[in-house]
Structure 1
Amino acid sequence: MNEPPLYPPIDPTTFDLIVVGTGLPESVIAAAASASGKSVLHIDQNNFYGSHFASLTIPQLTSFLNANSTSLPPPSSSNTVTSSDDFSVENLTTRPLYSDVEISSFSNQLLEENSNKFYLDLSGPRVLFCADRSIDFLIKSGASQYVEFKSIDASFLGDENGKLWNVPDSRAAIFKDKSLSLMEKNRLMRFFKLVQGQLAASSGGDRVNENKEEEQESESPGISEEDLERPFVEFMTKMKLPSKIKSIILYAIAMADFDQDNKEECKDLLKTKDGIARLALYQSSVGRLTNALGAFIYPIYGQGEMPPAFCRRAAVKGCVYVLRMQVIALLMDKSSGMYKGIRLASGQDIFSQKLVLNPSLTVLSASSSPLDSFHERFHFLCLRDVKQKVARGICIIRSSLKPDVSNFLVVYPPRSLYPEQITSIRALQLGGNLAVCPPGMFVLYVSALCDDAHEGKKLLNAAMNALLTCPDSVNPESISTDQIENSGPKSTLLWRALYIQELTMGHFDSISSTPMPSGNLDHNDILDSAMKLYQKMYPNEEFFPDTTSPENCEQDDELSLET
């Protein structure tokens, strides 16, 4: 009796679109195409959803980082050399998008007992603003039905002494903040009022205020066009804001990455108009959702819940899903040189009009003809010329960094930890009430943009040293219960993973490539990239048409936010 094949054949063998990888941008595109009536095949070589946006257990995370930090051997020739009279075969391989991976455990027994009870974000730290377009997008697409959120309770500005200062993000918070002087409070209030007046003026004045008092408060002199185009930091200096207030606004509210005071070296100088837009987003996020205490929310079970939510929407519309399946080659039309289909590790050929690849896949260079028509057309699949990287750290700690708060964000502005620090460092602590770790433990994500691994690791270590008690790295076998219980004001580090991630951009053609997770705190750039790619592929199709079924419309109109 013949044994069944290792890989069951996929039927049908022709689709409108094939999407490889189940990361957030790939899952959004698959869901959007399925909602528009396209036939879609969605493939992932992993046995989990999310790809580079996944939330993984400790063993899964360790395996994924190690596997994706080294170049894999090319696929076996038995599956790739066969061609036909109609198409040629171009082999694919996986390029390493992580490097300098360091994984250390300082409490082996404790973590071995709980290693599968963690859901660790590969792309952390990351949150959603309560008022940004990602929320509206989740609701419109229907993916919000499959994700639940909790509030990030507070935001802080950190310094080199381990002190965490409250971020005054509302009128009530400003008045309650005991670290601000009366003069600082007054100037900050006047500045917020000026921004509100500018926003009211730029909206065309068509909104009617609920009462005259609010109307009078919003009537403040507008900001000149000259000031709107000048650097935001210069405008705040013109408004006589103290240095501490400028730091809070620039780095903990506007989320600037680079040192705005150093215009010569700053890689992204924030203009006043952009700074005001970010300030408006932050302020409108505070209080938008009933159960959210601050400006941010976070998915229960981790950021890795978002890609499967879009995959579920796609599956409802007929998208075909295949996990544990590797794509090993592209099929190219011999006469036109255009994309025709893919070859799977099973040996089966699948055809489609369009293809979207996750950023890990690249074409093997053809040494015999490096400048042939295919490699000229799709050379971006061979490139790794990425000018910037993001350093990421994941720490498991024994106690909260703030005894009375479980979930919060900390921002270290440039030069706040050491003189050569030219970028912001962000740290996000999450507790067991988000179901990402066992009760009594916490997960701390740290990230910073960097040019190389040395700089990146220095940034991460500076933040961790300011926040945590790090065991002796020379003897990281285990720590005693006494060390855990008597670690002083800082929390004790139990486990950590440090790694450098490449930043890659999306490319749009008949073969398209999605971006890697960015260094941003939110998802907006990723969703914008997915929308741009979709509109490039299907310019006459609406991005997620309103096709909500009557029985689901009630759930689709709101976001599930737990108390």
Structure 2
Amino acid sequence: MIEALVRSNVASYATFRLLEHVCIYDGELSRVPGSKSEVFKQRTISLADKRRLMRFLERVAPAPDGTPASPDAPDVTIGSLIADTGLDARLQKALMYGVCLSWREDEPAATALSRTASVLGGYGRYGNSALLVGQYGGAGELAQGFCRSAAVHGATFVLGHAVKSLSHDGELWSLDLHGVEHKFTAKTLVGNVQNICTALSKEQRNGDAYEHVGIIVLDKPLALETDREPESALVVIPPETAGTENAVMVIMQGEGTFACPKGQYVYYLVTHASDNAPQLEKAAAQVCSMSGESVVPLIEFFTTRPLVTVPPEVQHCVVIPDGVPSRTKSTLYPSDAPLQHVANCMETLDHAVYRAEDAFWGAFGSDKAREEALNAAAARRTARDPSEYEGRGGVEPSRQ
């Protein structure tokens, strides 16, 4: 996503800040060290475990010259791979969920190590954190930025008007909206599974999984022992603690991210499951307990949506599925490293970029045009001024 923002100049429409804390909640809230020095300052970790931990991280981290890591990933689960390190059980859980950011312990090691390499490669690029937080609402601001950029090039956006009818006459699509007299026509229709099925009154197949989302607003931040109240944090609640099939990931944003008023903190909860039965009640109560005793939500909201990986076939239409997108043919730093089936909160925006690119070429491109775009993107990267990617840690060596 960062590469897409830089290439399209949409980055000029958005602002970011570093994520301050990554935490694990396993009955009690504990902060994951953000650097090698923090690891060795931890008195609760034995010296032997510190050495085992550093050996594991050095195996996955990028080389000192900035060369991306290609960690050897045996055909095992991330849980068994971490268990083989001999680390203390509590430290194993912190590594699996706080560093590898896994949904569950039986995730393939290949996908978990690929993501871990990305996390470790992010430390120092923009400061003492591997992750950025979008301000003024995060992903919503990015969507607005891309809309603004598209509008400059002639795109039209209509908000707040439901679809009245959508049909195809054999040559063109015709779209009628409630409250808009003008009829819109187009040769190609692009949309996600849910919107296309709803607009065409087409039966939507059951989801391969279900995404469960919750939003809680509290008047207190996470109760962390820090010099000042945290403004942003990522908390991972392991599935056995949250009582869910997969880990629950919680993003907290405070006034400093401009996502909520002064004195309030918004918590976004997300997990996925094989069915649409409620999943987040226990995790929501745990989030309240992380902020202190007798904390009551000011606002509480939960929703569920099906994740459909095999979209229906519709003529003259590109339907975007929820499944794993193709990135081996992407103009955005293609990689053969595998992606996990359902993106976690760190991967969601990257998945969106790959799906958007696939949809573009599916609607308007050809194999030849796509190949030319891949070659042009590779040439553009070599000619890029490294300062465009420069953070507080300096220019990334591999892009000089």
**TM-score interval, smaller chain:** 0.7 to 0.9
Aligned counterpart, 2:151 = 315
1:300 aligns with 2:126: no
Aligned counterpart, 2:185 = 351
Aligned counterpart, 1:497 = 301
- 1:345-384 to 2 correspondence within 5 Å? 345=178, 346=180, 348-358=182-192, 359-362=194-197, 381-384=202-205
1:176 aligns with 2:41: yes
Answer whether contact 1:427 1:444 (CA < 8 A) is retained: yes
Aligned counterpart, 1:444 = 267
Answer whether contact 1:449 1:519 (CA < 8 A) is retained: no
Aligned counterpart, 1:385 = 206
Aligned counterpart, 1:54 = none
Which residue of 108, 116, 130 corresponds with 1:270?
108
In structure 2, distance between residues paired with 1:170 and 1:242: 19
Answer whether contact 2:210 2:274 (CA < 8 A) is retained: yes
- 1:37-48 to 2 correspondence within 5 Å? none
1:140 aligns with 2:4: no
Answer whether contact 1:149 1:560 (CA < 8 A) is retained: no
Deviations 1:468-524 (CA, angstroms, capped at 9, x unpaired): 159xxxxxxxxxxxxxxxx95564422211222232348586212335696620311
**Highest CA radius of gyration, 1 or 2?**
1
Deviations 1:14-47 (CA, angstroms, capped at 9, x unpaired): xxxxxxxxxxxxxxxxxxxxxxxxxxxxxxxxxx
What is the identity percentage for the equivalent residue pairs of Structure 1 and Structure 2?
Answer: 21
Which residue of 317, 333, 352 corresponds with 1:526?
352
Question: How many Å apart are 1:350 and its aligned residue?
Answer: 2.8
Deviations 1:246-274 (CA, angstroms, capped at 9, x unpaired): 222222222221342xxxxxxxx322x32
Go from structure 1 to structure 2 and tell me whether the alpha carbon gap of 1:223 and 1:348 turns closer, same or farther (over 3 Å shift).
closer
Answer whether contact 2:24 2:94 (CA < 8 A) is retained: yes
Question: How many Å apart are 1:455 and its aligned residue?
Answer: 4.3
Aligned counterpart, 1:99 = none
How many pairs align? 350
In structure 1, distance between residues paired with 2:203 and 2:388: 43
- 1:427-506 to 2 correspondence within 5 Å? 427-456=250-279, 460-468=280-288, 488-489=292-293, 491-505=295-309
Aligned counterpart, 1:232 = 78
Which residue of 412, 419, 436 corresponds with 2:237?
412
In structure 2, distance between residues paired with 1:177 and 1:490: 30
In structure 2, distance between residues paired with 1:363 and 1:466: 36
Answer whether contact 1:169 1:283 (CA < 8 A) is retained: no
Q: Give the AA of the match of 2:219.
A: R
Question: How many Å apart are 1:363 and its aligned residue?
Answer: 5.5
Deviations 1:187-217 (CA, angstroms, capped at 9, x unpaired): 1011112334xx65xxxxxx9689xxxxxxx
* Structure 1 stretches lacking a partner, 5+ long: 1-133, 201-206, 211-217, 261-268, 367-380, 471-486, 547-552
Answer whether contact 1:448 1:519 (CA < 8 A) is retained: no
Go from structure 1 to structure 2 and tell me whether the alpha carbon gap of 1:355 and 1:415 turns closer, same or farther (over 3 Å shift).
same
Q: Give the AA of the match of 2:150.
A: A
- 3-state SS of the aligned residue for 2:108? coil
In structure 1, distance between residues paired with 2:353 and 2:29: 32
Question: How many Å apart are 1:559 and its aligned residue?
Answer: 8.9
- 1:118-129 to 2 correspondence within 5 Å? none
Aligned counterpart, 1:24 = none
In structure 2, distance between residues paired with 1:141 and 1:208: 28
- 3-state SS of the aligned residue for 1:360? helix
Go from structure 1 to structure 2 and tell me whether the alpha carbon gap of 1:246 and 1:497 turns closer, same or farther (over 3 Å shift).
same
* Structure 2 stretches lacking a partner, 5+ long: 324-341, 378-383, 393-400
Go from structure 1 to structure 2 and tell me whether the alpha carbon gap of 1:289 and 1:490 turns closer, same or farther (over 3 Å shift).
farther
- 1:17-28 to 2 correspondence within 5 Å? none
- 1:133-212 to 2 correspondence within 5 Å? 134-160=1-27, 163-196=28-61
- 3-state SS of the aligned residue for 2:176? strand
Aligned counterpart, 1:250 = 96
In structure 2, distance between residues paired with 1:209 and 1:143: 26
Question: How many Å apart are 1:450 and its aligned residue?
Answer: 2.0
Q: CA RMSD in A?
A: 3.4
- 1:281-300 to 2 correspondence within 5 Å? 281-290=118-127, 293-300=128-135
TM-score where L is the length of structure 2: 0.76
1:394 aligns with 2:215: yes
Q: Give the AA of the match of 2:353.
A: L
